[in-house]
Chains A and B, each alone.
Chain A
């Protein structure tokens, strides 16, 4: 037998063993309803939730208008609020009544137009009081902004009618790039991909492997001729496939259900998603082989992968506004690189100066984690 033949035989048997393991793991994956639930049902639920249920765009905010002045000016201002699509206006006669409504959270804000409004308006020092319920600070800020807008438009209308009220010396002309419609789905739906990939890659894998460690079934595999990297490959390939299915479900939903544009190349998106999926799988494998207990593994997988992907990735909250220490932590977490890639690829396009650095970091983290996971899963008994 020549050397080439020997190598050929070794490779062929290696491939055969790996393939057999992949098949076995795939059967186990499909057999367990809970894995299918997390792999298929969960992404679908999440896509629908993020697409239809969660929205940061405030509309129809219930506000009470206390109209204490019955002059035409005051009524016109109140109708400005009534016309705005952002407000759902209730006219209230007295302030105490409005306060009651706000205390019961029937309304989120009160606009008060005082009895002497028109007299003050003639003198040029009129005042509109806007009270907001500050418990949800973000919502309250948005309501304040809309109220400003409603009053501003009213003022502009008056100017147009010839009353001497300038709209302001400096006018801000604002444009929102990449998301002209100012639709929060544009960033929520792509951001969702990072959550789904993390769930499948890290959380599910960590639990499955931890169960094998906990029950000692890995030891049974160790006594077979299969080598540790083959075992690892057999375990991860089915979850990798599951993760990619989740990815394509999300892309399809984003494009066709929610009409989020995909301005970059789908190939680049696929490649960087593979990197991130490898990272997530690496985390899952590493966590499970370190903890070897399902409960602890699931908690740690959540702590190091899922929650950071939600909170520390720039998906919802702006990273630049966080304190330095938290920002430094976020650099250690792979999710931030992937979110930057997703947002750029979906909304901005193939901007290589953003894509390359992020993709390289992601690939490097993936390589490191996979190597570490290999080292941690050597054939050895605890």
Chain B
């Protein structure tokens, strides 16, 4: 037992040295996650704060000015032009000079004063319909508050029903609070899975894997010796992303680091298991990298990072059950934002452990019986 442990440590140490000896691959292990976290932390947001809009105000009344001033004051909109002619509306949208154009008709204030409802025409560029929809809902909110105040000022009584919304765990509904914790798992998986897949594929391509097989090492020990250094690198990467999230973006952390790291270790076990499984079926480094990449891409797209899992078709929702990243995202979000403890995370933790166990067993069986 002790001997076996010593052997594993020796192999793990040699693997770690092999990974870290090349300064370029050393740099490519730490720099990319930190850089990506910084850039995507800013880039990956569905919130809008600089919507260029153009306006055709044919009324030029106090009411229309008041409404537009509210839009300008909301902080999300930037008026790029005051249009004069109706024909210019289409031009501004087509040429992408404005995301939204607003038209207020001549009788806007007159109708309001008469107690009728007045139309405000809003046209949005639907080339990215998600962005357009968000901009529309911002405009809706501004108009709502305008309506309320107008009614109060003109004696129409308050609105029939006020909607009071509260968001749990993320009071201002910032996408960044969702995105950055998610990057811990996503960025770590990309590199860990590839690194693992490569570590065995490289030895196979160079023929040194056969040499390893004729040593007193048992297959399980070889697996452990390969898996541990990659998990270690993964933990270091996760920590670097976590540091950026904490020190630079200052996302509030509600849970405990022990829980987070426990979850991450299981996630890394599953990711490393997947990587070893890939490397056990491929013949060359190039294949290992390509298959690992395809896998990572599928896992990323079907994890709920960019689009919610609940929007996917049922069949694919089942597929997400074997996706380690899906559980990792759940764990980081729940620990980060909800402050969940280990007991509450059980539904996410045991599938990860299961995926890790199954993939590692399968990989070691493949190594033993499939010496190509």
Residues of chain A at the chain B interface (Cβ within 8 Å):
32-35, 37-38, 42, 45-46, 49, 52-62, 77, 102, 108, 121, 124-142, 144-145, 147-148, 151, 155, 158, 165-180, 182-184, 186-187, 203-204, 207-208, 211, 291, 293-296, 298-300, 302-303, 307, 311-312, 314, 316-318, 320-323, 325-326, 329-330, 340, 343-344, 347-348, 351, 353-354
The residue in chain A whose Cβ has the minimal distance to the Cβ of B161 is A126
Residues of chain B at the chain A interface (Cβ within 8 Å):
22, 24-25, 28, 32, 35-36, 39-40, 42-52, 67, 93-96, 99, 112, 117-134, 136-137, 139-140, 143-144, 146-147, 150-151, 156-171, 173-175, 177-178, 190-191, 194-195, 198, 282, 284-287, 289-291, 293-294, 297-298, 301-302, 304, 306-308, 310-313, 316, 333-334, 337-338
Q: Given the interface contacts A184-B129, A321-B47, does A134 sit within 8 Å of B311 by beta carbon?
A: no
Residues of B within 8 A of A207 (CB): 286, 289-290
A299 to B195, CA, bound (A): 10
A155 to B307, CA, bound (A): 32
**Contact present for B162 and A127 (CB under 8 Å):** yes
**Contact present for A169 and B151 (CB under 8 Å):** yes
The residue in chain A whose Cβ has the minimal distance to the Cβ of B333 is A135
A46 to B163, CA, bound (A): 40
Partner of B160 from the list A124, A133, A141, A311 (CB cut-off 8 Å) is: A124
14 A-B residue pairs with CB within 8 Å: A59-B311, A127-B164, A129-B164, A144-B173, A166-B156, A169-B117, A169-B151, A170-B119, A175-B122, A176-B126, A176-B129, A184-B129, A321-B50, A330-B43
A20 to B284, CA, bound (A): 26
Residues of B within 8 A of A208 (CB): 286
**Contact present for A57 and B140 (CB under 8 Å):** no
**Contact present for B307 and A54 (CB under 8 Å):** yes
Residues of A within 8 A of B151 (CB): 166, 169
A154 to B195, CA, bound (A): 56
**Contact present for A136 and B178 (CB under 8 Å):** yes
Residues of B within 8 A of A34 (CB): 282, 284, 286-287, 290-291
Rank and list the top 10 A-B pairs by shortest CB-CB distance, nearest first: A134-B170, A179-B126, A134-B167, A34-B287, A176-B126, A343-B127, A165-B160, A34-B290, A168-B147, A138-B46
**Contact present for B173 and A299 (CB under 8 Å):** no
Q: Given the interface contacts A132-B165, A207-B290, does A318 sit within 8 Å of B128 by beta carbon?
A: yes
Residues of A within 8 A of B118 (CB): 169-171
**Contact present for B313 and A134 (CB under 8 Å):** no
A329 to B42, CA, bound (A): 12
**Contact present for B25 and A145 (CB under 8 Å):** no
The residue in chain B whose Cβ has the minimal distance to the Cβ of A164 is B157
B199, chain A: closest CB distance, angstroms: 10
Q: Given the interface contacts A37-B294, A42-B294, A178-B126, does A134 sit within 8 Å of B163 by beta carbon?
A: no
A330 to B137, CA, bound (A): 27
Residues of A within 8 A of B125 (CB): 177-178
Partner of B168 from the list A102, A142, A312 (CB cut-off 8 Å) is: A102
